[in-house]
Amino acid sequence: MKDKNKKINLICERRLEKYYNITSKALKIAKDSISKTKEKQEQAKEIIKIVECYLYDSKYFQKNRNYINAFAALNYAHGWLDCGARLKIFNVSDTNLFTV
């Protein structure tokens, strides 16, 4: 039986891949859900570029076994997606992938 109060203090390849896949899925949904207004479309482009850069950085850090920075980059990437969702730049409703 797993102890639900057990601390997880390890960043491993499996955990990085899990969160990389979650953020990549959220990015795809965001790209397909951009608001129709011109201003929000421009903002979406900026956010998407930043998210893609953070995802690239995460893979770079992971490849170099710098798991802490890889995990941090993933969190920044997803944070940008959540920001876009909260500002209604992305019309998303999935509460498992976004803070909406």
Q: What is the pLDDT of residues 25-66, one digit of tens each?
A: 999 999 999 999 999 999 999 999 999 999 999 999 999 999
Which tokens is 67 given?
Answer: 């798991």
**Cα(77)–Cα(87) distance, rounded to whole angstroms?**
16
Average pLDDT for the chain: 94
How high is the pLDDT of residue 100? Answer: 85
Return the pLDDT at 10. 85
Across the range 63-70, mean pLDDT stands at: 96
Q: Are 70 and 62 in contact (CB under 8 A)?
A: yes
Q: Decide if domain 13-86 falls under CATH 1.20.1270.90.
A: yes
Domain boundaries of the chain, sorted by first residue: 13-86
Query: Whole-angstrom Cα distance, residue 73 to residue 15?
Result: 13
Which pLDDT belongs to residue 2? 62
